[in-house]
Structure 1
Amino acid sequence: MQFCTLGPYELIHAALVAKGFQVGRQRVVRLMAKLGICAHPQRKFKATTDSKHDLPIAHNILSRDFKTTEPDRAWVADMTYIWTSEGWLYLAVIIDLFSRRVVGWSMAEHMRTALVLNALKAALGQRIPSQAGLLFHSDRGSQCASGDYQTALLNAEITPSMSRRANCWDNAVAENFFVSLKTELVYSRIFSTRVTARIIITEWIEVFYNRQRIHSSIGYLSPAQFEENYWSTLEQSMAA
């Protein structure tokens, strides 16, 4: 399955250059205008955060510091909804701020704690933080604030951090991921079943987003390529 990114002309230009095309930015702008290519407009999102509870809330330790110099030092988490002909499908994701890679995700027909717990288990199943003290930032919803979830973080020696009330900018990286998912994939099709949605969204995340989609925040590289460059550079410096 092929996916495309209808993003700003900077991303289109960077993608063309990466594929070996010799083309200037202004030419990309002219060609996109001539062909009628533009970014999908953003839509309003349905709120999925239930912060009206009496569960303990962690301090906002991340404090919008979305840059890290090593993998698995700071993760951000959030969840969203996808409509299918069978009803809502909910998606929880965990993103490594270092490379913007989605390191864990989970989908279910509900928004209960099990949804976010399974995403955390998936992340810890494929990533092993080298040091204790991994910072984990989420919203203050009841799922992430629940005792089961906080116990799972504690057992993994992960430090929780939560956004301030009704402040989506405190978790902007996760919010931006969902904007990309919705505008580049979800809004352009109708999922007939939840199973179909799961298959297509999984492929979009693992094959396209993590391995092909370039990001301006990491030098117009894909998350996988950015991490490969990091480990290659580290190995070379250790061998020197």
Structure 2
Amino acid sequence: MCRVLGISRAAYYRHLNRKPSKWEREDKILDKMIYKEYKDSKCRYGAVKILRQLIKKGFKPSLKRVQRRMKKLNIKSVIVKKWRPYCSNKVNAAGKQNLIKEDFEADTINKKWLTDITYIYTLKDRWCYLASVFDCYSAKIVGWYISRDMNADTALKAIKNAIEIQKPDFKSLILHSDLGSQYTSSVVEEYLKSRGIKHSYSKKGYPYDNAPMESFHASLKKEEPRMNKYIDLEDAKISIFEYIEGWYNRKRIHSRIGYITPQECEDIERKKSAA
């Protein structure tokens, strides 16, 4: 066979006894670590976040190397980012102020909250509705509520849950929402007014005014693999709880807060305030 292939027997036996190089040995270890982080994230993490997790554990490959190894392992994030341009010359409805104005930076927790409602499909109960409240400083979902009704009560219960858990200073808190009837209803407006919470509104037909909140709902639908396989509302509640409280708030790292989890970010800020 060596004669047929034009290879010397010495080269053949040298190949058989060849020891893997330092880089090959490292790649073998790196592949295992990359695959573990990928599976631990339920196939949600891409190269950047996997790299950050590896750095935390003392292994410091380059981003290009992680990308090459992921390609070799034939794995990639389940998240596919889409860009959809929108016209920015939108205006608010009369009398509705936009206090946020696309400035999603906050100097501490419980200063700027974003809220919105999204659709969740179940096999038995059909469409259900998830209302969420997002903190701009920590990127944490501080309150949420899911029900079969898309009404003001669903929106209000998510806000009340956030208030009960976070116990914010109402005078310094801004709650930002879109112009949906759930948030412009007298039920929500009167409650916020009674607490002294300032209500801010997005411009009509302009989702970038509520971009982080929209981004969370998009991530939930892409990252939660059972999204269209819920049996009923109760099944959906269990999975949404596991995703938000078990994964998103406490395990999922975020680039906007320095690649730590929202709960870690909040805990650090609370310690600073206490000191």
| Interval containing the TM-score (normalised by the shorter chain) | 0.7 to 0.9
Q: What residue is the counterpart of 1:208 in the other structure? A: 247
Q: How does 1:23-172 map to 2 (within 5 A)?
A: 23-40=61-78, 41=80, 58-86=96-124, 87-130=126-169, 132-172=171-211
Partner SS, residue 76 of structure 1:
strand
Structure 2 counterpart of 1:83, one-letter code: Y
Paired with 1:7 and 1:57, the residues of 2 have a C-alpha distance of 42
CA contact (8 A) 1:56 1:145 kept: no
- For structure 2, the 5+ residue unaligned runs are 1-39, 84-92
Counterpart-to-counterpart distance in 2, 1:209 and 1:20 = 24
SS in 2 for 1:148: helix
Report the number of matched residues.
Answer: 225
Q: CA deviation at 1:19?
A: 3.9
How high is the sequence identity, in percent, across the aligned residues? 33
Q: Which residue of 2 aligns with 1:52?
A: none
> Whose Rg is larger?
2
Do the aligned residues in 1 keep the contact of 2:143 with 2:162 (CA within 8 Å)?
Answer: yes
Separation of aligned partners in 2, 1:197 and 1:43: 26
RMSD: 2.1
Which of 17, 20, 35 is residue 55 of structure 2 equivalent to? Answer: 17
Change (3 A) 1:200 1:187: closer
Letter matched to residue 78 of structure 1:
D
Give the TM-score of the pair, scaled to structure 1.
Answer: 0.86
Q: What TM-score do the two structures reach when normalised by structure 2?
A: 0.76
1:10-67 Cα deviation digits (max 9, x unpaired) = 12211232344443322211122122222333589xxxxxxxxxx9752111000101
Q: Which has the higher contact order (CA 8 A, sep 6+)?
A: 1
Contact 1:134 1:158 in 2 (8 A): yes
Structure with the largest fraction of helix:
2
Offset, 1:133: 3.1
